[in-house]
Structure 1
């Protein structure tokens, strides 16, 4: 093989790698940003750190995301809020009882969000909302409101079907979300530095919480009119 042909093949290979690298950059940046936001918080994370971890220049980062705030919003949409269409579609297609739906909802929430790196975003918001009201308002709009509405729809389904007793919907949703927030905060605070044998198994915790909730939610035989 001639030297010119060999150099040409290497040039083509290098160009292909650069093109693949360019296509991969937004995803790599979001992964790096998620890691750093969870590790260090919003305030302490610097744009150049995100770029360095993703293996690109700071200029490349700002080509895709013009500010740290926009980068954070993209991370939230990629990992949490962008999935509500999928979750609402699952709600519409679910054919079991509402009790089974609530069990499924809380278990799947842990598997898809709570057990992943994305759960650290919740702790970040709780810790830094007061100092960054704009990102707190964004999280309220993109995550808290649609999440609360989905939980409300689940509970209302149970009431409408006669499975659940009448509820104060404005507050009943907290009975579902509060235990999950507690689990996240334990995971990213005390649980992260407690001994390995710390007695909090997430799956057992979720099962215990949902079964306790259902004992209060479900209509019992003695509640039925005579």
Structure 2
């Protein structure tokens, strides 16, 4: 009997790599769908079946990548906050110039990540639902707030060592450097329809407040 040769269509060959690419991209797709649901319903109101429906997958597929809704939320936090922290850390570690110029690099990044992205959804959940989910708040603090505090403390310590930072309460609590950015995010979430203030105005005021209030006069000019 003559053996028949099996011909594989060239149209079918790319299917496996395509499926593999799809599988590799799926966690990011689930996180994006989760963020949309969190923005719409809050943390308590979000259901994984709704996330799955929005992502176009079966609910069980989510559990291949995330243990539960909390782990999905924290993955969203890491995806959005982690790159910003790494970017700022890179500035702090390698910047040779004065603290004034360093802050003028760092603060716009903080505004871009916190105010002009969907990260404000996470901030709203922390403010509105954090007391209901203290475990989530603790994780968020360790994963993001603590790392951010450490970076701000490094910036201020660097400025103090160079004689560029005013001694006082603000220098003793570098966390307050973030306050105007948080104010901008809250404003966009709450009062923007009543009294529109463009994010760039908050950024300009933030830079002015920090560089003229925290720094020694003429330091690094």
Cα 1:133–1:105, aligned 2, differ >3 Å: closer, same or farther?
Answer: same
Greater helix share, structure number = 1
Does the 8 Å contact 1:152/1:169 carry over to 2?
no
Cα shift at 1:188: 1.8
Once the two structures are superposed, the pairs formed by residues 97-176 of structure 1 within 5 Å of their partners are: 97-168=98-169, 172-176=173-177
Cα 1:170–1:161, aligned 2, differ >3 Å: closer, same or farther?
Answer: closer
Unaligned runs of 5+ in 2: 1-5
Give the aligned CA root-mean-square deviation in angstroms.
Answer: 2.3
Paired with 1:127 and 1:171, the residues of 2 have a C-alpha distance of: 29
TM-score w.r.t. structure 1 length? Answer: 0.84
Cα shift at 1:176: 1.2
TM-score w.r.t. structure 2 length? Answer: 0.86
Does 2:217 align with 1:220? yes
Cα shift at 1:45: 0.8
Q: Which residue of 2 aligns with 1:224?
A: none
Q: Which residue of 2 aligns with 1:47?
A: 48
| Residues matched between the structures, number | 213
Cα shift at 1:30: 1.0
Match of 2:202 among 193, 201, 205: 205
Does the 8 Å contact 1:65/1:71 carry over to 2?
yes
Does the 8 Å contact 1:103/1:207 carry over to 2?
no
SS in structure 2 at match of 1:52:
helix
